[in-house]
Structure 1
């Protein structure tokens, strides 16, 4: 039963979020320009931005589902944190220095500048908006279902609270409100998880006993080195596969871009992503401890809630624990505040970014809007998208059959790989064409979408649970009972159907084997197929020595020097001159460097020497 203190916690998280929106709308430039509303005037602070990036991509379902992954499938999931940390490292040194200097507002604008073509920009924006609308609905519906099932909060109330509060503070305060609300909400996420870890550990005999029990039941077995992509969680899929699955979230992602581009310098933009390496490790450690503590608690009792039919989805594990075991005033409120914080953060992030790209990419190129009118339109679109997302969530709660989560996650998994492929093709292959990027992304969507649909239909079977403590259960679900499985808590839940008898790690073959490819490989599969098809379509341009190439500012920073060397006829002569300088001291190093400057820019560097002298010295 809810206590008044619990309601107080819920009120605090809701009112504080709205208050942040009001304050940010009344300070600074009062959110009257797109530069301030969308980019925070590029004067935001490093630590709040880094925290915002961290919590924005961890929805309420992820906070609920990750401990359940540890509980039912073991600590293989912990390795996912390494993959995400690698994604942060890669993004910080590739996509951040690629996008930041361009001073653009939408990352899809980059594609038009790179290919000098509007269609590929509109196509990519359209894909983002469609998937974001469905993702927005899931961000509201999924936590509402979990809270309704175990805490008796009606689904309509959960959807309404999440939707209304998120729309209000996002529409009022823009990116500033979203970032500072994320910082505030991260406190409740931290406190909520810590409360569960501490209480469950105490009830299980202490932290040492928690780890001992988890080890005895196989929850600490981490390393599976098999290279078979059909195995759900392995060292390779959880590191390499997850890395490619998460680069699209930290690199070519509008929400992440708006945050790191809101910082005043490129160095700080890089650090905002690099700090997430530490943040991801800490968050995964806390989520893992939560899973271990919950498992030890139920193992000591001899019965887990899923085996006892107390919950229908493993995502309800954490809420049912709080409802049945934490009858202390404030604990229920803390958990609800934790779940709402995750939902608010994800919802506001999606609302802000999709409204911004709709105006910047679709409206402004055709309508001569003033900056003030464009800002007002973005605010109204935040409201419109919020209503649309809540409406889809409401409607989906009454529709049986394939769930909204299934459809959304399928599109999300398919689109993120395609997005990464498009940007890698654009930034790493100078002579690639927009036709190649478009056809490649289409092929990627079809391939990964087909894989997702086949997996959802049960073609590949479900993942195998580890042994469960059910010796003292009174309401066993039985061998033929069905359960819902989150195949990717971090990306907001694909659900598969399986049976409790499916506890042997049997790997199917044939088409079922294809459908059984681990969800952790979807990102790499999508990006790889997009690149392969994109290269084939771009082949005529790649083979044409006279094909136009973009300005190097649109090429990945790490490749620029290599490309200069490959295409510069003067480079080898300069290298030879530098190598033999000790034997021929009359050849000035300044002149050799000037040759490279001439080959690079077509003009001599005034500080290094005259073009004629440089060419003469090198025998050009």
Structure 2
């Protein structure tokens, strides 16, 4: 058992308990405050009038999760500062969401982001994509619950199993009773705490080592100052291209077609407010279950039953996420690499949105076949590479020897120098793959040795290629019959509209008036949904 000196001090327990209490109280407050507004519109979207600044802070916390705070320092320590290019990758997603996706979602006033796929292609594609997204999100949330629970178990007497349960139950509690407003405001609270903690560590490190100079020198000595690693070999794990470029595709999924983020976009009352934004996961899972599976089967369900179902499903999904977190705790692989496997599912979903919005000739068969092919091929490569990758640069980390390192203990004010008889003594790390001396088969040396940051890119392009091939053999859609509301040109010019008709100025003005009326007058569960006479509600196998 670890020394008690590594545990929280009494004041730490008081602060930690206070944070838990305030988080739970936020859920109770909004449950009481909105007790007379029992609608799914309020529960999932905060009546679409949440401040864009608050939503922006909540979205930031979605990106600065436990995976970022705990996982990224490990990634930088093992593979260097080249991982900083994730900033560029995230920027790609923000720009794409702001220019293309947010205006489309507000124009259609959808509740589930996968509702778009039902309008553009077919309801079955909507259901399949939503199912895959729920599986991906559940696994991702399991990782994000596991990491803070692991850290908590290291600084308290609680075992890991108990900290996982505590984290899961607390998040599920305030989410289930308070809805999206509780989620957003607890995100704000936790975001402030995380940022303050990271700043405190940063400042303390500067003080301890006497400025940036010694820290940069230490990074140079350990070969970690590799920010401009431009190797073009796709088997090299971390480079400018695999992180700054390929990882940008995963960022596009999170920013553009994940229910977690789009639900926040739709919590704002306008496109402009949402563009400012660029524990919610459980709330989003509940929203997907309701909007994509229950309401299509029971369209006449009452508001009361919708709310009961929403809260029950929130609790159920909270339990499922807790189970996933327990499962993740049993794995020995690198957490970042495990998270990249989810990209094999997320990227094909992004590809369907890409084909729907920018490629009007793709039909329903092409979209479905492409998505399935991308998920199968991407998952196959991602799972096989864990134990089959044989190219050394795919898995080898930077030197991790601690010989002759000076360590200062702030608890006992003691300075010691670590040294051993052998210069080969290094920190024991669990290998992420089996590397054979002969490199093994061609697949092991090539495809299975692909950088884990490329799993999503590989799956994305498989989906696009298969989507075009199947659409070719089953008959491309007639572009001239496309619904302009469901299409977004890459650049708004005649050539890149591919012959899709433009809406007249009268139609645009009429739609604007309708949206203003809905925003100002509609507060119930039917808010944002099309009227029975809306062309979007027509039963069509393929819109384009």
Matched, 1:264 2:196: no
- Measure how far apart 1:62 and its partner are: 2.3
Q: For residue 421 of structure 1, give the secondary structure of its aligned residue in structure 2.
A: helix
In the alignment, the residues of structure 2 paired with residue 139 and residue 72 of structure 1 have an alpha-carbon distance, to the nearest angstrom, of 20
In the alignment, the residues of structure 1 paired with residue 107 and residue 476 of structure 2 have an alpha-carbon distance, to the nearest angstrom, of 30
- Measure how far apart 1:234 and its partner are: 1.6
Which residue of structure 2 lines up, in the alignment, with residue 22 of structure 1? 28
In the alignment, the residues of structure 1 paired with residue 184 and residue 220 of structure 2 have an alpha-carbon distance, to the nearest angstrom, of 39
Which residue of structure 2 lines up, in the alignment, with residue 278 of structure 1? none
Which residue of structure 1 lines up, in the alignment, with residue 303 of structure 2? 371
Which residue of structure 2 lines up, in the alignment, with residue 465 of structure 1? 397
In the alignment, the residues of structure 1 paired with residue 90 and residue 251 of structure 2 have an alpha-carbon distance, to the nearest angstrom, of 6
Which residue of structure 2 lines up, in the alignment, with residue 50 of structure 1? 56
Specify which of 206, 226, 235 is matched with residue 230 of structure 1.
Answer: 235
In the alignment, the residues of structure 2 paired with residue 395 and residue 14 of structure 1 have an alpha-carbon distance, to the nearest angstrom, of 24
- Measure how far apart 1:477 and its partner are: 11
- Measure how far apart 1:409 and its partner are: 3.4
Matched, 1:521 2:454: yes
CA contact (8 A) 1:254 1:353 kept: yes
In the alignment, the residues of structure 2 paired with residue 394 and residue 167 of structure 1 have an alpha-carbon distance, to the nearest angstrom, of 16
Q: Which runs of 5+ in 2 are unaligned?
A: 405-417, 510-544
Q: Deviations along 1:558-597, whole A, 9 cap, x unmatched? A: 45643686438xxxxxxxxxxxxxxxxxxxxxxxxxxxxx
Specify which of 331, 340, 345 is matched with residue 415 of structure 1.
Answer: 345
- Measure how far apart 1:136 and its partner are: 2.7
Specify which of 346, 358, 362 is matched with residue 293 of structure 2.
Answer: 362
Q: Which runs of 4+ in 1 moved over 4 A?
A: 28-31, 149-152, 401-408, 474-482, 506-510, 540-544, 563-566, 599-607
- Measure how far apart 1:510 and its partner are: 4.6
Which residue of structure 2 lines up, in the alignment, with residue 145 of structure 1? 150
- Measure how far apart 1:552 and its partner are: 0.9
In the alignment, the residues of structure 2 paired with residue 426 and residue 551 of structure 1 have an alpha-carbon distance, to the nearest angstrom, of 11
TM-score, normalising length from structure 1? 0.72
Specify which of 274, 281, 286 is matched with residue 350 of structure 1.
Answer: 281
Q: Which runs of 5+ in 1 are unaligned?
A: 274-347, 486-495, 569-598, 608-620
- Where in structure 2 are the equivalents of 1:94-493 lying within 5 Å? 94-115=100-121, 117-149=122-154, 152-273=157-278, 348-367=279-298, 368-394=300-326, 397=329, 409=339, 412-460=342-390, 463-472=395-404, 473=418, 483-484=429-430
Q: Deviations along 1:284-305, whole A, 9 cap, x unmatched? A: xxxxxxxxxxxxxxxxxxxxxx
- Measure how far apart 1:497 and its partner are: 4.4
- Measure how far apart 1:444 and its partner are: 0.6
Q: For residue 485 of structure 2, give the secondary structure of its aligned residue in structure 1.
A: helix
Q: Report the CA distance shift for 1:555/1:479 in structure 2 as closer, same or farther (over 3 A).
A: farther
Which residue of structure 1 lines up, in the alignment, with residue 410 of structure 2? none
Which residue of structure 1 lines up, in the alignment, with residue 469 of structure 2? 536
Which has the higher Rg, Structure 1 or Structure 2? Answer: 1
In the alignment, the residues of structure 2 paired with residue 507 and residue 79 of structure 1 have an alpha-carbon distance, to the nearest angstrom, of 32
TM-score, normalising length from structure 2? 0.81
In the alignment, the residues of structure 2 paired with residue 530 and residue 437 of structure 1 have an alpha-carbon distance, to the nearest angstrom, of 8
Q: Deviations along 1:2-58, whole A, 9 cap, x unmatched? A: 211110121122111111111122225655111111111110111111111121133
What is the count of residue pairs matched by the alignment?
485
Q: Report the CA distance shift for 1:208/1:474 in structure 2 as closer, same or farther (over 3 A).
A: closer
In the alignment, the residues of structure 2 paired with residue 429 and residue 111 of structure 1 have an alpha-carbon distance, to the nearest angstrom, of 13
CA contact (8 A) 1:140 1:158 kept: no
CA contact (8 A) 1:351 1:386 kept: yes
CA contact (8 A) 2:389 2:434 kept: no
Q: Report the CA distance shift for 1:391/1:606 in structure 2 as closer, same or farther (over 3 A).
A: closer
Tell me whether 135-144 or 243-252 shows the greater mean CA deviation.
135-144
CA contact (8 A) 2:363 2:476 kept: no
- Measure how far apart 1:231 and its partner are: 1.3
Q: Report the CA distance shift for 1:270/1:557 in structure 2 as closer, same or farther (over 3 A).
A: farther
Q: Report the CA distance shift for 1:192/1:427 in structure 2 as closer, same or farther (over 3 A).
A: same
Q: Report the CA distance shift for 1:549/1:480 in structure 2 as closer, same or farther (over 3 A).
A: farther
